[in-house]
Chains A and B, each alone.
Chain A
Amino acid sequence: MKKVALVGCGQTKYQRKNRANSVQELIFEATQKALEDAGLEKKDIDTVIVGSCDTIDGISISNAYSVDVTAAFLKDESKVEEDAAFAAYYAILRILSGSFDTALIVGWGKNSEVDIHLATNMIFEPFYSRPFGLDAIQAFALQARMFLDKNNLSEEEAARVIVKNRKNALKNPYLEKRKEINLEDVLKSEYISTPLKKLDFSPVTDGAVAVILSEEKTAKKITKRPVWFSGLGLCSDTYHLGYRDLTELPATKIAAENACRMAGIKNILNEIDLAEIYEVFSFGELILYEALGICSHEQISEFINKGQTEIGGKFPVNPSGGSLNANPLPATGLIRLAEAYLQLSGKAGERQIENASSALVYATSGLCFQSNMVYILNS
């Protein structure tokens, strides 16, 4: 089969309230930086796929508005209305079709421009769920309560995820500086929707990210350190929260198993060097440890308590700081792909994991991990 590689990426700063730049300026900045990183120009891009959210942008079919700033003018262009990491999947398929050599994927979210609770309330269907004023925070809170109860875990394990990811974030130049916090700070902080506290989520974030993919021959011309896709897995669960098992995440498991099978991975912990996962909220990272096959549910507590997923641990998860520090919906999953690319091409600066040559990337769309995208990458 043809091979597809990541050959460049660009990120804006992820800020809580960017009042200096319009969303178009952010998209342009990320796109331009990705082209510069790969040493390419607009003419070198064959197809552009973006990931954005019409509700957040406040404009229908919002990619119509972004054509010029994503270098897509008079080009093959399309969009996914889900996390932008899913756009990369379609870009890979386009390249594998043989019709395109090089693809640009762009994701953005200027979440400070909308009431983000209301934007996520719109994800709920209007008959049975939206009228209660449910939003993403409440949905994840329902999931967290079930997860705690079932696995006999405490809020302390989730607090350790926050402490770890906040510490990692200090090494990521794209993030706003936030002070390092300890376990007690987290546990003492106020609840927003029990058992979740404000610190269990990222602040509302603005930002954009772009990555560039190429087929094998082109990729080798573009860079000496291409990062190859060796496994892909995509799987969706049913929509209604009440029809799902919110703690088992069968669709996440299938996506991970399919990606690992394609990549020939039998044991993630032993065969992969790190993971960049869109954990959405602190408990999410713990839920995903099991669902992605990183550890069993009996091992979750020990895994986080012993620092196995810290930078320097056996299996670093989210050395970038993850989405607890910046969550510019729906670009966040694509940021994970960009960060994994930086790690495997040796460009991750202070947060670089030494000798990293393989990574698992996870992105999700919808509520409580309904849609699941897993990539296995190799340098």
Chain B
Amino acid sequence: MEAERVKKLKGMLEVPYEWTYSKNVAEFFKNLKDKKILGSRCKNCHKVFVPPQVVCGICFSEMENNPIEVSQIGVVETYTVIEFTYIAQILPPPYAVGIIKLEGTSTRLNHLINKESLEKLKIGSRVRPIWRDKRDGSFFDIEYFEVIE
């Protein structure tokens, strides 16, 4: 078999990075420790971006200086239940990821939705975050969102 004669090189890239946060992104992560979710508001159109961004891409305008705290109750705008496995996953399938819009905000965030919620999960489901007891200022300070009855 010709295919078996062919040699190949096996390799793996492991490249360490340190990505600097923008100012309002740093504020966002810092406040997660205190169970607060912050959004940034566009100086021009006043849309509230969660998670925060450096600029409002629509207006090409800066955000207001101080991020604002937003509601923690949200609505699932879309979701998927993941059934396949690959190496960058943090949970064994099946698990769900949703795009969630928090009340009073203009954009949506991605997060996990817990297994217990899967049966009742649909577009329009109301959800709230479940916080970890030990928080270190990462997106995983929110363990997941759960569907509210």
A-to-B contact residues, CB < 8 Å: 19-20, 58, 115, 117-118, 121, 126-135, 137-138, 141-143, 145-146, 149, 190-196, 238, 240-243, 246
Contacts and interface: CB of A to CB of B under 8 A. Distances in A.
A227 B140 CA distance: 53
A88 B87 CA distance: 35
Given A142-B79, A145-B123, A193 B139 contact: no
A146 B78 contact: yes
A96 B82 CA distance: 47
B13 A118 contact: no
B127 to A, nearest CB: 14
B112 A141 contact: no
B78 A246 contact: yes
A81 B86 CA distance: 24
B97 A138 contact: yes
Nearest to A17: B3
B108 interface: yes
A126 B19 contact: yes
B86 A135 contact: yes
A146 B80 CA distance: 10
A117 B88 contact: yes
A194 B58 CA distance: 31
Contact of A133 (B57, B79, B90): B90
Contact of A115 (B2, B86, B139, B140): B86
Q: Is the interface of B mostly helix, strand, loop or mixed?
A: loop
A262 B21 CA distance: 42
B57 A238 contact: yes
6 contacts: A58-B13, A117-B88, A131-B90, A138-B97, A191-B83, A192-B82
Contacts of B17: 126
Interface in B78-120: 78-84, 86-91, 97, 99, 101, 107-112
A193 B84 CA distance: 7
Given A19-B6, A121-B88, A128 B110 contact: yes
Contact of A241 (B11, B110, B138): B110
A127 B51 contact: yes
Contact of B25 (A19, A127, A137, A246): A127
B77 interface: yes
A195 B57 CA distance: 30
Contacts of B89: 133
A157 to B, nearest CB: 18
B83 A149 contact: no
Contacts of A193: 80-84
Task: Rank and list the top 5 A-B pairs by shortest CB-CB distance, nearest first.
Answer: A242-B108, A141-B80, A133-B89, A117-B86, A146-B78
A190 B112 CA distance: 22
Contacts of A194: 80-81, 83
